[in-house]
C-alpha cells in the first residue's frame, strides 16, 4: 500500500532511488575492479546517511524548496559578486557589515574566494589547501563561517566557496603521511619511484605555470619520489583512481554543504584524471567522477549546486555542463570562458565576426538543469583560448591573433588603449596570457594617465557594455570585486615577496571603500560605473526573457562592430545588440524586426531606441535589449 513519505529516512531513500542510476554506474565503471569496491559502496552510503542525519533543519527545508523549484539559480534575479574575504572586508565577521553594500548593488550570490585553511606563505591565492575542514584562521573560524552563511541565507544571498579537488597542499595531513612513507597515503597522490614514467607523461602534457613552476612533476630526494604537481610544487595532484580519494572528498563536500554552502566551485576539474599519451585534461573519467559527485549532493543536499571550473576550448567545455552522455547530470554551472575571451577579442578588433562564429556555432541554444557562470574578469589571467580552426574560419592565423591579443592587452600594440601585464610567457609555445583589471584593460588607466577625457568616457562605456553583456547572455553574471567601481591595476603586489612572481595579483586589489562611499553621486568614473552596474542588474531582474532557461541564439549581423543575439522567451523575443566600437552604428529597423524585435523598446534603458530614417542609431559601445 502506498504511504506518505513522513520521515527523514524516507526522503533520503527516495532521493537515493532517484539518483541511483546517476551514481552507481559511474562508480562501477571507475572502481568496479578494485578489490575494496564492495566495502567502498557501503562506506559511501554510510557517509551520505551520516551527512543527511547531521544536516540542519533549515538546510533540509532549503533542499526541499530547491528540489521543488529547480530553476531557482537560472532566474534573472541571480547576480553574483566574487571577492577575497580579507581584501573586501578584513575578515568573515566584517563581511556581515558589508551586506547592505552588496544588496544595494543587487547581489544575490557571493563567491568567497578560497577560504579554507591554506598552507603558510605562498598558497596560490588560497588554492593550496592544508585543511578542508577549517577556515583560513586569518578570516575567522568555522563557527564564524556558519554564522555568516546563516545570515546570508536569511537575506536570500547564496554562498559559493571553492573546493579544490585536483590537488592538496603538500602540508595537508594526507601528504605529510605520504611523505613519511605511509603507502596507503602515498596512494592518495601520484608518486613515482623513478623519473621514467613522469618523463613519458611529460611528452604530451602542457605546462600551466611554465614561468615559475615548469614541468608537471617534482622530485623530492628526501623521500625518494617524483610527485605529480600540475600547478605549483606545493600543490600535489590527487589520485582519483583510488576510491579512497573519492570517499574522502565526498565526505568533505557534504561537510561543507552542511555548514551552509550553496554552491561548490570545483576547481581545475579538467585535470582530475591522467592517461598516458594525452594532455591529461578532460579525460572521459573526469566526467564520470563529476557526475558521481553531483549525484552524491543531489541525494544528500540537493540545495547545493556545483560550479565547475574548466578553462578549456568550447567543445571540451560543454560536457562539464552535462551535455552528451551526462546530459543534465553534471555541473549546474560552468564558467563561460569563451564568452569572456571573445569579449576582449572583439573589443580589441572592433569586430565581432569571430565572436559571432564561435558563440553561434559551438554552443547549444539551451542546456538541461544547467547554465553558465558569465564573467568578464576573475581572479585569474586571461588565456587566449581561440582555436586555430576558429581563427581560420575568419581567415585569421590562430597564433597570429593570439599574439595580437596579448600585445594589445599588455599595451605594447600601437594604438592600444589597454594597460595589462603578461602572465606565464612560454617561449616554447609562443603562448602568453594577460593579467589586468577590467578598467585598466578597457582603457581607463591609460586615459586617466594621459588626461584624455574622451578616452576615459569610452573606457567607462566599455566596462558597462561588458556588464550588460554578461547580464543578458543567460546564466549567473559574476561581478568581480572592484570592477563595479572601475578599480585600476594594483601594482603593489610587486612589493609583496610571496606575490611578486605572480602578475595575477595586479587584479586582486583591496576594496576601495572610499570610492564606495561616494558611489551614488555620479561624479567620478567609479560612481558612474557603479550606478551603471546597479542599473543593469535592476533591469535584468525586471526582464523575464533573461531567464537562463530561455534559448539564446546568436544572429549574424552585417555590421561587423555589432554583436547580436536573441533570447527567445515564450512571451516574445528580446534582441540584444552591442556596439563594440567607438563609432556610431546604424542598424536597419527592418532587420531588427525580422529578428523578432517588435516594439523598438530598449528594456535596458527602459526607453524607446532612437531611430533615424529607418535605422536604429547606436552610440559608441551601446548595449540595448530590444523587445
Q: How far is the CB of 354 from ligand GLC (least distance, A)?
A: 20
Which residue, 532, 392, 527, 366, is CA-closest to 462?
532
Q: What SS3 class is residue 591?
A: helix
CB 505 within 8 A of CB 368: no
Q: Which residues of 362-400 are buried (b: 16+ CB within 10 A; e: fewer)?
A: ebeeebebbbbbbbbbbbbbbbbbbbeebbeebebeeee
Nearer to ligand GLC among residue 86 and residue 381 (C-beta): 381
- Any idea which residue has 513522513 for its cell? 6
CB 19 within 8 A of CB 295: yes
Q: How far is the CB of 252 from ligand GLC (least distance, A)?
A: 16
* Cα angle, residue 53 at apex, residues 51 and 57 outer, rounded to 5°: 105
CB 458 within 8 A of CB 443: yes
Nearer to ligand GLC among residue 86 and residue 124 (C-beta): 124
* Three cell numbers written together for 25: 554506474
| Contacts (Cβ under 8 Å, ≥6 apart) of 408 | 348, 416, 418
- Dist CA 290 CA 283 (whole Å): 12
Strand pairing partners for 248? none
CB 571 within 8 A of CB 497: no
Q: How far is the CB of 293 from ligand GLC (least distance, A)?
A: 17
In whole angstroms, how far apart are CA 448 and each of 135, 260, 490, 520, 530?
40, 43, 15, 21, 18
Q: How far is CA 123 from the centre of its chain?
A: 20
Q: Is 309 an annotated catalytic residue?
A: yes
- Dist CA 615 CA 150 (whole Å): 52
Q: Which backbone phi and psi does 369 adopt, to 5 degrees? A: 55, 25
- When CB distances to ligand GLC are compared, the closest residue is 127
Q: What is the CA radius of gyration of the chain?
A: 24
- Any idea which residue has 551552509 for its cell? 260
| Helix and strand counts by DSSP (H, E) for the chain | 23, 26
Q: Is 267 an annotated catalytic residue?
A: yes
Find the catalytic residue in 237, 248, 309, 407: 309
- Under the rule (CB under 6 A), what is the footprint of ligand GLC? 124-125, 127, 164, 208, 231, 267-268, 309, 311, 379-381, 383
Q: How far is the CB of 271 from ligand GLC (least distance, A)?
A: 7
Nearer to ligand GLC among residue 280 and residue 592 (C-beta): 280
Q: How far is the CB of 270 from ligand GLC (least distance, A)?
A: 6
Q: How far is the CB of 515 from ligand GLC (least distance, A)?
A: 26
Nearer to ligand GLC among residue 83 and residue 580 (C-beta): 83
User: What is the DSSP code (8-state) at residue 272?
Assistant: S
Nearer to ligand GLC among residue 433 and residue 566 (C-beta): 433
- Dist CA 554 CA 583 (whole Å): 22
Nearer to ligand GLC among residue 118 and residue 260 (C-beta): 118
* Cα angle, residue 121 at apex, residues 120 and 125 outer, rounded to 5°: 95
Nearer to ligand GLC among residue 362 and residue 593 (C-beta): 362
Q: Which backbone phi and psi does 614 adopt, to 5 degrees? A: 80, 10
Nearer to ligand GLC among residue 128 and residue 346 (C-beta): 128
Nearer to ligand GLC among residue 268 and residue 529 (C-beta): 268
Q: How far is the CB of 234 from ligand GLC (least distance, A)?
A: 11
- Dist CA 90 CA 253 (whole Å): 26
- Dist CA 569 CA 431 (whole Å): 41
Nearer to ligand GLC among residue 267 and residue 330 (C-beta): 267
Q: How far is the CB of 496 from ligand GLC (least distance, A)?
A: 17
- Dist CA 411 CA 343 (whole Å): 17
Nearer to ligand GLC among residue 230 and residue 258 (C-beta): 230
Q: Which backbone phi and psi does 394 adopt, to 5 degrees? A: -105, 15
Reported as type and span, the H/E element at residue 129 is: strand 129-135
Q: How far is the CB of 216 from ligand GLC (least distance, A)?
A: 13
Q: How far is the CB of 398 from ligand GLC (least distance, A)?
A: 17
Find the catalytic residue in 267, 407, 431, 602: 267
Category of 507 on φ-ψ map: left (φ > 0), alpha (ψ -120 to 50) or beta: alpha
Which residue, 226, 39, 232, 225, is CA-closest to 125?
232
Nearer to ligand GLC among residue 375 and residue 621 (C-beta): 375
Q: How far is the CB of 77 from ligand GLC (least distance, A)?
A: 27
- Dist CA 529 CA 516 (whole Å): 11
User: What is the DSSP code (8-state) at residue 365?
Assistant: S
Which residue, 329, 340, 326, is CA-closest to 372?
340
Q: How far is the CB of 311 from ligand GLC (least distance, A)?
A: 4
Catalytic center residues = 267, 309
Amino acid at each position: 500500500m502506498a504511504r506518505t513519505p513522513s520521515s527523514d529516512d524516507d526522503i533520503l531513500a527516495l532521493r537515493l532511488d532517484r539518483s541511483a542510476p546517476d551514481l552507481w554506474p559511474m562508480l562501477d565503471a571507475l572502481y568496479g575492479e578494485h578489490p575494496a569496491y564492495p566495502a567502498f559502496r557501503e562506506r559511501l552510503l554510510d557517509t551520505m546517511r551520516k551527512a543527511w542525519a547531521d544536516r540542519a533543519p533549515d538546510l533540509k527545508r532549503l533542499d526541499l524548496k530547491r528540489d521543488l523549484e529547480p530553476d531557482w539559480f537560472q532566474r534573472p534575479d541571480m547576480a553574483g559578486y566574487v571577492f577575497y574575504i580579507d581584501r573586501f572586508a578584513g575578515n568573515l565577521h566584517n563581511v556581515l557589515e558589508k551586506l547592505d553594500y552588496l544588496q544595494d548593488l543587487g547581489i544575490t550570490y557571493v563567491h568567497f574566494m578560497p577560504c579554507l585553511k591554506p598552507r603558510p606563505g605562498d598558497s596560490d591565492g588560497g588554492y593550496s589547501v592544508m585543511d578542508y575542514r577549517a577556515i583560513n584562521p586569518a578570516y575567522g573560524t568555522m563557527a564564524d563561517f556558519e554564522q555568516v552563511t546563516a545570515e546570508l541565507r536569511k537575506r536570500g544571498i547564496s554562498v559559493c566557496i571553492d573546493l579544490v579537488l585536483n590537488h592538496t597542499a603538500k602540508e595537508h595531513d594526507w601528504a605529510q603521511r605520504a611523505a613519511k612513507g605511509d603507502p596507503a597515503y602515498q596512494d592518495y597522490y601520484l608518486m613515482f619511484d623513478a623519473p621514467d614514467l613522469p618523463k613519458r607523461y611529460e611528452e604530451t602534457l602542457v605546462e600551466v605555470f611554465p614561468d615559475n613552476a615548469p614541468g608537471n612533476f617534482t622530485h623530492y630526494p628526501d623521500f625518494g619520489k617524483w610527485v605529480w604537481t600540475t600547478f605549483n610544487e606545493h600543490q600535489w595532484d590527487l589520485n582519483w583512481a583510488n576510491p579512497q580519494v573519492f570517499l574522502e572528498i565526498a565526505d568533505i563536500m557534504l561537510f561543507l554543504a552542511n555548514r551552509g554552502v550553496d554552491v561548490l566551485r570545483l576547481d581545475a576539474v579538467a585535470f582530475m584524471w591522467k592517461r598516458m599519451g594525452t594532455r591529461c585534461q578532460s579525460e572521459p573519467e573526469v566526467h564520470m567522477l563529476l557526475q558521481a559527485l553531483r549525484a552524491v549532493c543531489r541525494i544528500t543536499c540537493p540545495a547545493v549546486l556545483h560550479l565547475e571550473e574548466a578553462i578549456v576550448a568550447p567543445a571540451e567545455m560543454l560536457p562539464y555542463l552535462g551535455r552528451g552522455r551526462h546530459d543534465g547530470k553534471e555541473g549546474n554551472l560552468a564558467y563561460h570562458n569563451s564568452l569572456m575571451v571573445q569579449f576582449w577579442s572583439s573589443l580589441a578588433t572592433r569586430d565581432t565576426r569571430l565572436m559571432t562564429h564561435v558563440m553561434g556555432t559551438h554552443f547549444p541554444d539551451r542546456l538541461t538543469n544547467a547554465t553558465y557562470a558569465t564573467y568578464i574578469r576573475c581572479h585569474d589571467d586571461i588565456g587566449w583560448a581561440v582555436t586555430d580552426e576558429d581563427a581560420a574560419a575568419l581567415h585569421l592565423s590562430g597564433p597570429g591573433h593570439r599574439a595580437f591579443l596579448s600585445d594589445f592587452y599588455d599595451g605594447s600594440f600601437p594604438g592600444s588603449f589597454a594597460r595589462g601585464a603578461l602572465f606565464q610567457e612560454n617561449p616554447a609555445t609562443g603562448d602568453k596570457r594577460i593579467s589586468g583589471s577590467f578598467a585598466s584593460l578597457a582603457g581607463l588607466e591609460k586615459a586617466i594617465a594621459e588626461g584624455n577625457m574622451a578616452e576615459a568616457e569610452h573606457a567607462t562605456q566599455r566596462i558597462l557594455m561588458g556588464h550588460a553583456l554578461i547580464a543578458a547572455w543567460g546564466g549567473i553574471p559574476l561581478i568581480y570585486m572592484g570592477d563595479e567601481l572601475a578599480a585600476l591595476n594594483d601594482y603593489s603586489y610587486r612589493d609583496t615577496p610571496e606575490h611578486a612572481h605572480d602578475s595575477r595579483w595586479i587584479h586582486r586589489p583591496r576594496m576601495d571603500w572610499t570610492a564606495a562611499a561616494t558611489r551614488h553621486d555620479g561624479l567620478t568614473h567609479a560612481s558612474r560605473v557603479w550606478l551603471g552596474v546597479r542599473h543593469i542588474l535592476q533591469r535584468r531582474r525586471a526582464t523575464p526573457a533573461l531567464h537562463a532557461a530561455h534559448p539564446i541564439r546568436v544572429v549574424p549581423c552585417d555590421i561587423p562592430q555589432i554583436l547580436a543575439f536573441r533570447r527567445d522567451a515564450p512571451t516574445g523575443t528580446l534582441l540584444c545588440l552591442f556596439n563594440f566600437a567607438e563609432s556610431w552604428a546604424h542598424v536597419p529597423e527592418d532587420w531588427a524586426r525580422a529578428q523578432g524585435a517588435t516594439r523598438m523598446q530598449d528594456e535596458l534603458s527602459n526607453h524607446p531606441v532612437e531611430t533615424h530614417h529607418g535605422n536604429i542609431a547606436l552610440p559608441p559601445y551601446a548595449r540595448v535589449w530590444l523587445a
